[in-house]
Amino acid sequence: MSKIIKLRKGLDIHLQGEPAPKLIEACGSDTYAVSPPDFEGVLPKLLVREGDLVKAGSPLFFDKANQEIIFTSPVSGVVAEIRRGEKRKLLNVVIATDGRGESVEFKIPSLDRASREDVAGVLLSAGMWPMIISRPYGRIANVADRPKAIFVSGFDSAPCAPDMNFVLEGELENLRKGVEVLGKLTEGKVHLGLKAGTEGVLNRVDNAEQHIFKGPHPAGNVGVQISHIDPIRKGETVWTVDAQNLAIIGRLFRTGRVDMTKVVCMSGPQVVNPYYLRIIGGAEIKSFVMNSNIKPVKRGGGVRIVSGNALSGRIVTRDEFMTFYSNHITVLEEGNYHELFGWIAPRTGKFSVSRTYFSWLCPRKRYNLDTNTNGGARAIVMTGLWEKYVPMDIHPMYLVKACMAGNIDKMEALGIYEVLPEDLALCDFVDPSKTEAQEAVAQGINLMIKELS
């Protein structure tokens, strides 16, 4: 039995709207999209024009900086629209599906005899290489790199996150094949992080090195798991893959076809019936986020739809598309209102990490939280609060200050190689100064890439 790694730092935010274990087959979207802004650091170069016919797995664009990395269509159909933003920035390649589910057929080598180059070639040509993320910095992995290990987190500890064992039920053989594929890309081990006290399909993926984690969020973050299993040092590289993407990779190597089907959850305080639904990656948000399933808001400020979790997801509209790396949609009420002396009232309906409210007496109560920051931005204050919520061997406050100052030497010394913005998402949530820790870390990472590349 694997040794349990116990984490004491962190915070479980008990948000209303946790999805029920009920799976619905989505009615399907008329249009799907691959969106370059989903991929950090990618400079896209188009390979198609409006009106071109494509199949699932057909190339749409590639990265100018690394032309081996190709992005492919998730469905068969016709290129309906090329959407651009300011300065002709490519935003979406929109595919109108024909509903036939046709795919490019890829020649799959026998993994017993395949070389690393053979396996990487299939992943590159099928457009699945972007599923592999490199650390440090959180960018799409460089094919030429040799990672010391590859990590997969088998659970998500964020508020209202999907249960990955429920999501991946029936995918055991695809998961095992995916681990076998990843094992060809590294001379080290493929590590799988599991949640203590749970049993499911992921526990049966026995060809990966399993590690059991017990503790509050962010225990499910792969960055936190890496820091407790095999921390990243200067000059080292590790790769990470999302658990659902691991199954999609395994599916490719078992069938020779691109099948981007995944299960996502619809959750959050503003969802009438939170549930799971099966979609194809890149589906249009409005195809499954129905107005009939959204609660009316109390203050008339509307709702916020987040692709991903409430702490680190990306804000989207119903006319946009499911982001590439997201496994769930969170719907929250917009908190664009002001409460005069709101902190004085001794109420139990408000959540607080301190004892400002009586909510600390009900640690398991679920709260209907909105997007209100409950205060304005102010000067950063050295409270020592952040250290209670980051279960990693770093000093988050000093790291963020180094990122703000653009001090590369201090960023290196303080742990910039170990973190991504999502690892400090709780700092944003608990900070009384309303400091944007995730934004600061993202700026620090961009500076590191610019200056050290």
Mean pLDDT value of segment 112-139? 97
Q: 342 pLDDT exceeds 70?
A: no
Average pLDDT, the chain: 93
pTM to 2 decimals?
Answer: 0.95
What pLDDT score does 365 carry? 87
> Tens digit of pLDDT for each residue in 78-89?
999 999 999 999
Q: 397 pLDDT exceeds 70?
A: yes
Distance CA 448, CA 450 (A): 5
What pLDDT score does 360 carry? 74
Positive/negative CA dihedral, 205, 209, 212, 218: negative
% of the chain surpassing 90 pLDDT: 83
What pLDDT score does 341 carry? 66
Task: Tell me the residue type at 61.
Answer: F
Residue 343 binned pLDDT confidence (cut-offs 50, 70, 90): low
Residue 345 binned pLDDT confidence (cut-offs 50, 70, 90): low
Mean pLDDT value of segment 64-93? 96
Instruction: Of 157-161, 309-313, 327-331, 355-359, give the lowest mean pLDDT range.
Output: 355-359
What pLDDT score does 26 carry? 73
Q: 102 pLDDT exceeds 60?
A: yes
What pLDDT score does 400 carry? 96
Q: 1 pLDDT exceeds 60?
A: no
Residue 278 binned pLDDT confidence (cut-offs 50, 70, 90): very high
Distance CA 404, CA 127 (A): 35
Q: 393 pLDDT exceeds 80?
A: yes
Helix (H) or strand (E) holding 429: helix 425-430
Distance CA 320, CA 308 (A): 14
Instruction: Of 139-148, 199-208, 378-387, give the lowest mean pLDDT range.
Output: 378-387
Pick the closest to residue 248 from 206, 286, 282 (CA basis). Answer: 282
